[in-house]
Chain A
Amino acid sequence: MRRLAKTSASVMLALPLAGCDGSQSALDAHGASAIELKQLIIVIVAVCSVVWMLVMVALIGALWRNRPALRPPASPSAERRMTIATIAAVVATTIIISGFTVMSFIATRALAVAGNHDLTIRVRGLQWWWSVEYLGTSAERFETANEIHIPVGRNVRLKLEGVDVIHSFWVPSLAGKQDLVPGRNNELTIRAERVGIYRGQCAEYCGMQHAHMALLVVADSQDDFDKWAAAQRQAANPPAEEELAAGRQTFLAKPCAACHTIRGTDASGKTGPDLTHVGSRRTIAAGLFETTRGSLAAWIADPQTIKPGNNMPVVPLTPDELRSVSAYMASLK
């Protein structure tokens, strides 16, 4: 019975599944809890589909019977039979929802005892980007933004903090969502079962640019992850070329440094994302563009047209300054 339910559900869900190798989908599950949730979803959807079809059969039966040629003669026992049928249906409903309740309870418990954590990351939600801080000893700590790297097959604990308004951390291919609520400490454990890049997006309406508050979770092998983390811990590369040095100079002289940090320089602003290794991240502006020199230049030249309302002001730059600053940004691997 359960297998039957499962197969019919997979047929039903085949349409959406076929259409997406998209990295942001609850149906494309590659995290421990997302896989568990997907199973639960399939079973519940399958059972509900069957229930709906039975109701439709009863409805169509009622309409069909009513063709004048088929109309049955009124019978005194009809009322009694209908009472019995109704009671049976109510009992069946009760059994099904009790089953769902128990299943949900078991699934919730399974998700809650996720075991030890190999890594703890603080994720802070701000209007409209994610600050990511790897916790540990002071030598191990480092900060980045909008992109979280995790070792595959490991339990990673996310400490979720809402800084301004409520946001919600949701990477559907890995796990269900969890809100970041100012004044509360929420947590979420994720574990990727497969190497890959998983997109996520803020799921709680958080104001003007809620639509553009995405992030990537990059699940790597332990080796790759360690290499990446070691590189991230470093301060920024000192500029090797003249243009890059000029870019850095502009960055430090202009208001940029008031809001952004570049470790290894005097820039230590906290309002915006840490830019120490911005060039190594796949996207800028919380998932808006792929990181290239061009997209960096476009963003710096006019962030308010690209992402209206965001908290980065337009910093007036000459064309030369713009060119060198964006080159410098791109070089921060």
Chain B
Amino acid sequence: MTADAAPDTRDADVERTHLTCTLAETWKTPAGFWGALSTVDHKIIGRRYIFTAFVFLALGGVLAALMRIQLAQPEARLLGPDRYNQIFTMHGANMMFLFAVPVMEAMAVYLVPLMVGTRNIAFPRLNAFSYWIYLAGGALLWIAFALDMGPDVGWFAYVPLSGPQYGAGKRADIWAQMITFTELSALAVAVELVVTIFKQRAPGMTLDRIPVFVWAMLVTSFLVIMAMPAIMVASTSLILDRLVGTHLFNPAEGGDVLLWQHLFWFFGHPEVYIIFLPAAGMVSTMIEPFARRPAFGYLALVMALIATGILSFGLWVHHMFVAGLPRLGESFFTASSMTIAIPAGIQVFCWLATLWDGTLVFKTPLLFIIGFIVTFVIGGLTGVMVASVPFDTQVHDTYFVVAHFHYVLVGGAVFPLLGAIHYWFPKLTGRMMSETLGQWSFWLIFIGFNATFFPMHILGLQGMPRRIYTYQPDLAWHGMNLFVSLSAAVLIAGFLLFFVNALRSARYGEPASDNPWDAPTLEWATASPPPSYNFAMIPVVSGAQPLWNVEGALPVAEGLRTDRRELVVTSLAAAEPQTREASPRHSIWPLWAALATTVMLIWSIFSPWAVVWGSIPIAVTLIGWFWPKGTPEDES
């Protein structure tokens, strides 16, 4: 608030340049180190989140490279069993919990408020907190690994192997607590997104005008909220077994080993869709500017997302087909797992129709979309294969499954993500990524990926189990393993090129205009990168492709105050303006709260009393967080 701003200054009362100055003053993040630590701007936090997630991708890639060097020949001696087992566990846990899920949340933290036309995410301080917690969880895992204390029980940490008798040291506890960190942060972001999407959409953005990516994040957020209790119960029970000596999973004392698997996969299966649905949403949204038409079948696309979300809770047993459950029950899960192919198919057919009817612009994001369709369909079809109980008895826990889930995770989620980075890079940084390097990296990644992972299907059928640190020379696998490892080098070269391109372009890329792709959604209605307040005036939406639906400038709503942080709150279905709502200012307390939580969570690996004593500093930081400070935002 500048001193001369009258107590109730509204945006419509001031002329444009003055308006942007005042808004910038009101919404700015304080300069300097403390400013950086206390910011609650969703764009700054989102960028940080995305950057951190990509650092974890690179680290996980280094581990993948080590595994592939080790497996290139039989009986290789590069890694011993202990290191290898830590490495494959770290690779899986890191890629799932520190890269794939957070990067999708991160993209949403940055994009969703812009795409729905609001000024900040709901609960911005919680958003800051969630980033710090995520960073702490990632640091915990990697520091433990550097100290030779990395988990070695696989990313799904089956008991009894991860239990007190067989999981020596603190390795499994590190895994379980890292889960707590990442789940906490994912849960926070999910809540923010649901509220942002339900209540902060620009006036006129009715349910049928919400961009598909935003729909995807809404469904994903609900999956996070509903899957979370299962994993929280699971990891807490594991820690109790290990620390307090309960026997929840110990069959000798009446505990149940399979209980773990049910709990884990009740969360773990939706987890896969928590990664895939945002990617599918990205494709549906990105395809529009590159096909120069609205996505075909908007309603079908949205319904498919929702159906996938619901069905994803009915499939978990397909991870347990060889555990010895009753066959009849298993057949039910075959049927339910197969049905998820229908919404997946619907989306693929809609994208094909969009491409068919569109006028294509062959830029890097479109290449990634095409590469995604080619590979994701393979991953989906192998998914149908492993959904069949008898088929699965031969391929479960083999390299066939390694191939399958990389086709869906890399082909199905990382390809769209890389396309999305190329696409939204101007909005993130204000600069364009190099198109030449982009196309080169696409081809290297696409060819390298398929050459690396396709042969793994065959290796699996030829009897190669997953999670083995070596194999004997008399088995018929070495030729293909060598080929796979060489292809992985191509894949990694592609990723390196992508990183080089992104880092170079962030500094030296060609400056981007507001809407370089002539795209239809609201984030392109503001500057690249957007100012701290996102939109000088809140846009009003009159169609599903707002920037294509009107000629010239978008109509705007007026009446928000400029001297304090205010958002428009709109109704859930029709997005009619309801009230003005204050949005919190920057604060250092989320950082302190995150630190206090981190201390408590790590301490509780060693002593159950940490929960008691550790909660005191957390309470103190929360009091600080919510203490009224007499700012205009507090008054309202």
Mark A residues whose CB is within 8 Å of B. 15-16, 19-22, 24-27, 34, 36-37, 40-41, 44-45, 48, 51-52, 55-56, 58-59, 61-63, 65-66, 71, 78-79, 82-83, 85-86, 89-90, 93-94, 97-98, 100-101, 103-105, 107-108, 111-112, 127, 160, 162, 164-166, 168, 170, 172-173, 175-179, 181-184, 186, 199, 201-211, 287-288, 308-309
Contact = CB atoms under 8 A, between A and B. Distances in A.
Contacts of B341: 93, 97
A308 B350 contact: no
Interface stretch (B191-199, B214-222, B380-388, B411-419): B380-388
A175 to B, nearest CB: 8
Given A94-B342, A176-B322, A22 B475 contact: yes
A184 B166 CA distance: 18
Given A40-B388, A176-B394, A179-B323, A86 B350 contact: yes
Nearest to A45: B385
B391 A85 contact: no
A213 to B, nearest CB: 9
A58 B468 contact: no
Contact of B161 (A19, A207, A288): A207
Contact of A176 (B152, B387, B393, B475): B393
A55 B476 contact: no
Interface string B329-353: 0110011001101100110111011
Interface in B148-183: 152, 154, 158, 160-161, 165-166
A210 B466 CA distance: 10
Given A56-B374, A179-B324, A164 B381 contact: no
A207 B327 CA distance: 28
A25 B461 contact: yes
A208 to B, nearest CB: 5
Contact of B370 (A63, A79, A111): A63
A126 B126 CA distance: 47
Contacts of B579: none
Interface stretch (B264-272, B354-362, B428-436, B495-503): B354-362
Contacts of B395: 26
B74 to A, nearest CB: 11
A63 B373 contact: no
Given A205-B154, A205-B158, A208-B81, 13 more contacts: A19-B479, A27-B461, A51-B377, A85-B349, A104-B388, A160-B324, A164-B165, A165-B160, A166-B257, A210-B85, A210-B469, A211-B470, A309-B82
Contacts of B461: 16, 25-27, 41
Contacts of B252: 182-183
B391 A168 contact: no
A160 B324 CA distance: 10
A90 B465 contact: no
A82 B341 CA distance: 20
B531 interface: no
B327 A181 contact: no
B467 interface: yes
Contacts of B377: 51-52, 55
Contact of B463 (A55, A166, A201): A201
- Tell me if B's interface is mostly helix, strand, loop or mixed: helix
A112 B81 contact: no
B394 A177 contact: yes
Nearest to B353: A82
Contacts of B555: none
A112 B458 contact: no
B405 to A, nearest CB: 15
B258 interface: yes
A104 B330 CA distance: 11
A78 B357 CA distance: 8
B43 interface: no
A111 B352 CA distance: 40
A177 B251 contact: no
Contacts of A209: 81
Given A86-B297, A205-B158, A176 B390 contact: yes
Interface of B: 80-82, 85, 152, 154, 158, 160-161, 165-166, 251-252, 255-258, 296-297, 300, 322-324, 327, 330-331, 334-335, 338-339, 341-342, 345-346, 348-350, 352-353, 355-360, 370, 373-374, 377-378, 381-382, 384-385, 387-398, 458, 461-463, 465-472, 475-476, 479
A308 to B, nearest CB: 6
B322 A179 contact: yes
Contacts of A98: 338
B561 to A, nearest CB: 45
A27 B339 CA distance: 28
Contacts of A22: 462-463, 475-476
B160 A90 contact: no
B463 A58 contact: no
Contacts of A108: 327, 330-331, 389-390
B619 to A, nearest CB: 40
B390 A181 contact: no
B338 A85 contact: no
Contacts of A176: 322, 390, 392-394
A206 B468 CA distance: 10
A23 to B, nearest CB: 9
Contacts of A164: 160, 165-166
A308 B80 contact: yes
B393 A86 contact: no
B392 to A, nearest CB: 8
Contacts of A78: 357
B391 A65 contact: no
16 contacts: A22-B463, A27-B462, A41-B394, A41-B461, A51-B381, A82-B353, A83-B297, A94-B342, A97-B339, A104-B331, A104-B388, A111-B390, A177-B393, A203-B397, A205-B397, A210-B465
Given A48-B384, A203-B396, A182 B160 contact: yes
A101 B158 CA distance: 29
A166 B160 CA distance: 7
A208 B168 CA distance: 12
Nearest to A287: B472
Contacts of B359: 66, 71
B352 A105 contact: no
Chain A CB within 10 Å — which of B80, B331, B392, B462 has the most? B462
Nearest to B167: A207
Contacts of A168: 322, 397
Given A65-B356, A177-B394, A181-B323, A172 B463 contact: yes
B426 to A, nearest CB: 24
A178 B397 CA distance: 11
A218 B350 CA distance: 53
A324 B463 CA distance: 38
B345 A62 contact: no
A202 B396 CA distance: 12
Contacts of B398: 203
Contacts of B374: 56, 59
A15 B458 contact: yes
A62 B389 contact: no
A97 B338 contact: yes
Nearest to A94: B342
Given A101-B338, A308-B81, A90 B357 contact: no
Contacts of B350: 86
Report the 5 A-B pairs with minimum CB-CB distance, sorted nearest first: A176-B393, A183-B251, A211-B468, A186-B324, A24-B463
A248 to B, nearest CB: 31
B158 A59 contact: no
Contact of B373 (A25, A45, A59, A89): A59
Contact of A40 (B80, B349, B387, B390): B390
Nearest to A127: B166
B257 A90 contact: no
B353 A107 contact: no
Contacts of A105: 331, 334
Contacts of A287: 472
Contacts of A210: 85, 465, 467-469
B257 A181 contact: yes
